[in-house]
Homo-oligomer: A and B are copies of this chain.
Amino acid sequence: MKRSSRRAFIGKGEAAAGAVLTATPGIIMTPAAERPPIIHHVFFWLKNPTSTADRDSLVAGLKTLAGIPLIKELYVGVLADTEKRDVVDASWQVSELMFFTDLSGQANYQQHPLHLEFVKNCSHLWARVVVYDAMNLFNRTS
């Protein structure tokens, strides 16, 4: 997509962003248009943190979640080799990042057969899981 048409697309999206909703008391939030606004980011600490076999098994398991249509975008990653500053948590091994259209999509995903199958097949691999669920108020994607 050329830069000009991308900008036109974004402009159209902003103009169409009519919906205003309240998710947390005390703040009026307008979800960013044209991108799925709900982010679900999960970090996994392996029982065997140095096992590349276990890491690869978990990555393979997470890839099967791609078959769930409720997930609008899926990213499966590992710890990046960035500078180890005090604020950086570099103690985990595998991550999944998902975008959902709305809160009900995220809730229904939890009960999807492919997700339950993933948990059944892979939960023995991890010692700890931490989930962050965010609602985007703003995005710039180009």
Q: A92 to chain B: closest CB distance in Å?
A: 7
Any chain B CB within 8 A of the CB of A80? yes
Contact B24 A81 (CB under 8 A): yes
Report yes or no: A139 in contact with B24, Cβ–Cβ below 8 A.
no
Contact flag A134-B59 (CB < 8 Å), given A74-B140, A80-B103: no
Q: In the complex, are the beta carbons of B78 and A52 less than 8 A apart?
A: no
With beta carbons under 8 angstroms apart, the residue of B43, B129, B140 that contacts A66 is B140
Per the bound structure, the CA–CA distance linking A63 and B78 in Å amounts to 27
- Interface check A4, CB cutoff 8 A: no
- Closest chain B CB from A93 CB (angstroms): 9
What residues on B are CB-neighbors of A80 within 8 Å? 23, 38-39, 103, 106, 133-135
Q: Flag if B76 contacts A137 (CB, 8 Å).
A: yes
Expressed in whole angstroms, the Cα–Cα distance for A130 and B88 within the complex equals 6
How many copies of this chain sit in the oligomeric assembly? Answer: 2
Within 8 A of B (CB), among A21-61: 23-24, 26-27, 29, 32, 35, 37-41, 43, 50, 52, 55-56, 59
Nearest chain B CB to A72 CB, angstrom units = 8
13 further contact pairs, Cβ within 8 A, besides A39-B97, A82-B133, A83-B110: A23-B78, A23-B80, A26-B50, A39-B80, A41-B97, A41-B132, A78-B134, A78-B137, A80-B134, A80-B135, A85-B131, A87-B131, A88-B131
